[in-house]
Chains A and B, each alone.
Chain A
Amino acid sequence: MAALISIAVFGIALLYIELTNSKKIQLPLAVVGLLVTLGLTVMQWNHPSSSFNNMAVTDNYSVAFNASILLSTMFVVLLSAYYYEDVKQHVAEIMALMLFTVFGAFLITSFSNMIMLFLGIETLSIPLYVLAGSKKFSLRSNEASFKYFLMGAFASAILLLGITLVYGASATFQLSAISDYVNNTKQLPGIFYMGIILILVGFSFKVAAAPFHFWTPDVYEGSPTLITAFMATVVKIAGFAAFYRLFSSAFSSIATFWEPLLWGMIILTLLISNFAALLQKGVKRLLAYSSISHAGFLLLGIIALNKLSAGGIFYYTLAYSLATIPAFGVLILVKNHRNSDDSIDAFNGLAKKNPLLAIVMSVALLSMAGIPITAGFFAKYYIFVAAIDSGYILLTIFAVLAAVLGVFYYFRLLNAMFLKEGEAEKIKIPVVFGISLLITTILTLAMGVFPDYIIKLL
């Protein structure tokens, strides 16, 4: 509750800072806001409480996810100092919108009532529509923003119909009451099942899982790169936190109904994303497809639905965010120096003149591919263990094969950086930007070496 208020107050403060047009205090204010909120969030650790008439609960689960959302946002905000260096206007507004997005993310990590879930998803999405179009005069940004808006609004409507149908059957929005209803009813009505399917569809739109992923590559490519990094991390963390919370609490007793659906979705997601990623020429699009494939792995944690899942999903989303942010960060630098060329060829020979950038990018890519000593390896490992524990052996074998396929396209990029020749020049790394890249890289490695500390949290 305190964390929620703090992030909202800092967001509004940033809006008013924009009016005074003082560029110097924007970034510090945003960082301070995030740190204060992080402090307030961490203080709630092991102090479960409920707020808003029991419509939201703060437990260790939500605190852990909130902290990782705040961390990711912080790194993105640090990157923004360089990204918006030449932009005179609206920078504080962009940061404020990011904080409002985080506000929405907080709501959906800690909801215990469907109303909160809907409000959270909307508070998360609406600022993102604006952020995706924040390059006002770029047609591509316009297009990405509009597509995102259409798909987002469409998905919200579908999710809403699902919630309504579940309400129609169970006469409650409270998750625990829905769970009781499921346990105490012998013959569940058809609209309840229909509602679950629609909620599943709505969620897979939001977290970009196949077959509802088609908007993702376009939106990720068209949005400003920094915003793409923000969308790819925060939305994914919050989306999966909410996804798991909903399906593990309200609908866990009828898992036999929705697990086959999820099973099909996982197979489709892993297949489509990995094969499509192999064909991509642009790095941004490649990362977009890689993000879809990560959604596939994360769904594996949800389908497992045992005591290992929550920790596995948390570890995976954190590892994924810590890898995605530096990857997009390096992409921003390279793109700026190559006249906004973001093809894989733009990375040719990066290691010769810019070893630091190449190392940061390699660690990020290796983590995404799931190579040992990076966080990505244990992320996949824990998810697979959870899935095997619940008896999804075939599915896990399939996922392992998909992960191996994934290694190919990450190595295409590594190959370009280290082995190919290119007319590379020395790229100057801005200080704050470099700090953000460095910390994320170190954290990725640290998480890979000492995975126990994170996985034992949940």
Chain B
Amino acid sequence: MGSISIILLMACGIIFAVAAIAIGRKLSMKRFNPTKGEAYECGIQTEGDTWVQLHIGYYLFALVFLLFDVEIAFVYPWAVVFKEIGMVAFVEIVMFVLVLFLGLLYAYKKKALTWM
């Protein structure tokens, strides 16, 4: 398969998408009324400024999550070779998780996990 067909396919796709949007925009009638400007079926109208700052609690959660979530990267390779290595691998992963747990416990005791 030559690359010309891929390019052709991509070109057709782009032209089709652009054309659909452009023609729709050109042909449609634009009449504005207040109901149209509202958020569609999204509950009640918002009050005040929508750019409110997020609570600082989010940031702590995010950091703790970020740290613990990447550790899973080490478990995947471990799982692949687990059968070959056997018991030693099990003990090692238990120790690894234990150290992680110590970290989590510390975060918990420091009240990083309670909603402030």
Contacts and interface: CB of A to CB of B under 8 A. Distances in A.
A16 B102 CA distance: 9
A282 to B, nearest CB: 35
B110 A19 contact: yes
B5 to A, nearest CB: 34
Interface in B85-104: 102
Nearest to A8: B99
B81 to A, nearest CB: 13
Interface string B96-116: 000000100010011000000
Q: How large is the interface on A (under 10, 10 to 19, 20 to 34, 35 or more residues)?
A: under 10
A298 interface: no
B114 to A, nearest CB: 14
Nearest to B105: A16
Q: How large is the interface on B (under 10, 10 to 19, 20 to 34, 35 or more residues)?
A: under 10
A34 to B, nearest CB: 21
B32 to A, nearest CB: 48
A19 B110 CA distance: 7
Instruction: Determine chain A's interface SS by DSSP, over half rule.
Output: helix
Nearest to A16: B106
Contacts of A12: 102
A19 B109 contact: yes
A16 B110 CA distance: 10
Contacts of A15: 106
Nearest to B106: A15
Interface in A10-30: 12, 15-16, 19
A15 B106 CA distance: 8
A37 B106 CA distance: 24
A19 B109 CA distance: 7
Nearest to B102: A12
B12 to A, nearest CB: 39
Nearest to A12: B102
Contacts of B102: 12
Contacts of A16: 106, 109
A20 B109 CA distance: 10
A19 B105 CA distance: 11
Contacts of B109: 16, 19
Nearest to B99: A12
A79 B102 CA distance: 29
B82 to A, nearest CB: 17
A419 to B, nearest CB: 52
A196 B102 CA distance: 39
Interface string A245-259: 000000000000000
Contacts of B110: 19
A374 B113 CA distance: 53
A12 B105 CA distance: 11
Contacts of A19: 106, 109-110
A81 B58 CA distance: 35
A19 B106 CA distance: 8
B97 to A, nearest CB: 15
Contacts of B106: 15-16, 19
Interface in A400-420: none
A456 to B, nearest CB: 40
A88 B44 CA distance: 48
Interface of B: 102, 106, 109-110
7 contacts: A12-B102, A15-B106, A16-B106, A16-B109, A19-B106, A19-B109, A19-B110
For the complex of A and B, the 4 pairs showing the least CB-CB separation, nearest first, are A19-B109, A15-B106, A12-B102, A16-B106
